[in-house]
Amino acid sequence: MSKMRRIAVLGAGAWGTALGLTMQRAGHAVTLWARDPQLAHEISTLNTNTRYLPGIELGPGLPATSDFAEALDEADCVLAVTPAQTLREVLAAIQSVMGSAVKPDAALVLCAKGIERDTGRLMSEIAAEMLPKNPTAALSGPSFAAEVARGLPTAVTVAAKDAALAARLAETLSAPHFRCYSTDDLIGVEIGGALKNVLAIAAGATDGAGLGASAVAAIITRGFVELRRIARSFGGRDETLMGLSGLGDLVLTCSSAQSRNYAYGLALGRGESLDNRPLAEGALTANIAARIVADRGLYAPIIRSVTDLLEGRLTVEAAMRTLLSRPLKHEET
Ligand SMILES: NC(=O)C1=CN([C@@H]2O[C@H](COP(=O)(O)OP(=O)(O)OC[C@H]3O[C@@H](n4cnc5c(N)ncnc54)[C@H](O)[C@@H]3O)[C@@H](O)[C@H]2O)C=CC1
Ligand SMILES: O=C(CO)COP(=O)(O)O
């Protein structure tokens, strides 16, 4: 086990709570920050998080607070685990306590999977803009929060441009049931995590519309080609996308109704209401992903049809008809 560290986990939703527990299991001193004081109180006194991890006993003593500065106090490592579209806001809050509540050299680990809607920036690009002095990494890979919280075996990737930092953080963040691999392909890991959510909506919608398991397999496979094409255009490496944070997470998210993105797609395909559903990051990333595809002159018809579907311009059946009626071509993989 690596040396004990002070770890601040920002965000007490499903993933933040599961990671907080995991960091405790790794032997670290953890403080979980919840925006909502009632939730912080529930976690630290009742050992439950009934809103985000219902039915899971958190075990005694996961310290949680709604005081941002208290959570960051003396932290060596900060895990940012709020939704992708809120990262800028959370990093601005860190900036405001930098040097007083948070160590100027604290490592920042980005755990959200998404692309900023208004700017097209990846999570690491936002961090480089707002906290340029802090060593930054991303954690991604196939990992359902409820399973990780239960201590079920899970493997993920920790990525940083500095390979030594990625390896050090992988050692720090690993726990007996939580195995972290490391890579220096930060961009590849981030694109894999963000785009698999969009493809999970496509897979769920195909299933929801009753188009069959063969169609779902075709969507996953051809969607993966699009994902890799986009990642390559950012400089992401193909070998990374074949790993846990690409193919691994795509397989998990496109094949289980435990995935909120897949479940969102399923509801869309069935024509059910999309109101008041849990967070589906893919629905927030799809439009900007389609814009990036257009700006870069790339070809990604499945990702584009998810945007059309979400914006009501197309039905699942019409999207599938369009995909099937394109000119036949050589199978590029
Ligand atoms: N749930 C999972 O299995 C996994 C989730 N992730 C990623 O982690 C990120 C967070 O997801 P979850 O924890 O599952 O979501 P969640 O919906 O369970 O929780 C989100 C948390 O962020 C808080 N929050 C929302 N807006 C905020 C803001 N403006 N400022 C501060 N806090 C805010 C909410 O109050 C809540 O506590 C997402 O990007 C997701 O893709 C990654 C791996 C696994
Ligand atoms: O990222 C995840 C699993 O790796 C969680 O997926 P959902 O956000 O679709 O639930």
Checking phi first, is residue 141 left (phi over 0); if not, alpha (psi -120 to 50) or beta? left
Whole-angstrom distance, CA of residue 282 vs CA of residue 144: 15
Q: What is the pLDDT of residues 86-125, one digit of tens each?
A: 999 999 999 998 878 888 899 999 999 999 999 999 999 9
Residue 143's pLDDT is 98
Residue 2's pLDDT is 65
Mean pLDDT value of segment 139-157:
98
Q: Which ligand is nearest to the CA of 200?
A: 2
CB-based contact 287:265 (threshold 8 Å) = no
Whole-angstrom distance, CA of residue 186 vs CA of residue 188: 6
Task: Please tell me the chain's helix, strand, coil percentages from 3-state DSSP, rounded to the nearest 5.
Answer: 50, 15, 35
Residue 12 Cα to ligand 1 midpoint, Å, equals: 7
Q: What is the pLDDT of residues 273-326, one digit of tens each?
A: 999 999 999 999 999 999 999 999 999 999 999 999 999 999 999 999 999 999
Residue 84 Cα to ligand 1 midpoint, Å, equals: 8
The residue contributing the CA closest to ligand 1 atom 4 is 15
Q: Which of 81, 144, 252 most suits a substitution to test ligand 1, by most atoms within 8 Å of the C-beta?
A: 81
> Is ligand 1 within 6 A of the CB of residue 68?
no
The residue contributing the CA closest to ligand 1 atom 9 is 112
CB-based contact 303:293 (threshold 8 Å) = yes
Written in H, E and C, the secondary structure of 233-297 is HCCCCHHHHCCHHHHHHHHHHHCCCCCHHHHHHHHHHHCCCCCCCCCCHHHHHHHHHHHHHHHCC
ipTM associated with this complex? 0.99
Q: Where are the domains of the chain?
A: 6-184, 191-324
CB-based contact 151:178 (threshold 8 Å) = no
Could you please state the CATH topology (level 3) that the domain comprising 6-184 is classified under: Rossmann fold (3.40.50)
Q: Which has the closest alpha carbon to 316: 198, 204, 197, 199?
A: 204
Residue 144 Cα to ligand 1 midpoint, Å, equals: 12
CA-111 nearest atom, ligand 1? 8
Task: Give, in degrees to the nearest 5, the angle at Cα 13 between 309 and 100.
Answer: 120
Please say if 196 is a catalytic residue: yes
The residue contributing the CA closest to ligand 1 atom 5 is 15
Residue 34 Cα to ligand 1 midpoint, Å, equals: 11
Q: Two tokens at 118?
A: 């208004």
| Pairing verdict, β 154-159 and 136-140 | antiparallel
Q: What is the pLDDT of residues 193-247, one digit of tens each?
A: 999 999 999 999 999 999 999 999 999 999 999 999 999 999 999 999 999 999 9
Residue 255 Cα to ligand 2 midpoint, Å, equals: 11
Q: Which ligand is nearest to the CA of 139?
A: 1
- HSE at residue 37, side-chain half, CA atoms within 13 A, is 2
* Catalytic residue from among 3, 133, 196, 329: 196
CA-144 nearest atom, ligand 2? 3
CB-based contact 190:138 (threshold 8 Å) = yes
pTM score, two decimals?
A: 0.98
Asked if residue 181 belongs to a known ligand binding site, the reply is no
Q: Taking CB atoms and a 6 Å cutoff, what residues make up the pocket around ligand 2?
A: 113, 142-144, 197, 200, 249, 252-253, 259-261, 281
Asked if residue 196 belongs to a known ligand binding site, the reply is yes
Q: What's the CATH code, domain 191-324?
A: 1.10.1040.10
Asked if residue 103 belongs to a known ligand binding site, the reply is no
Q: Which of 52, 253, 266 most suits a substitution to test ligand 2, by most atoms within 8 Å of the C-beta?
A: 253
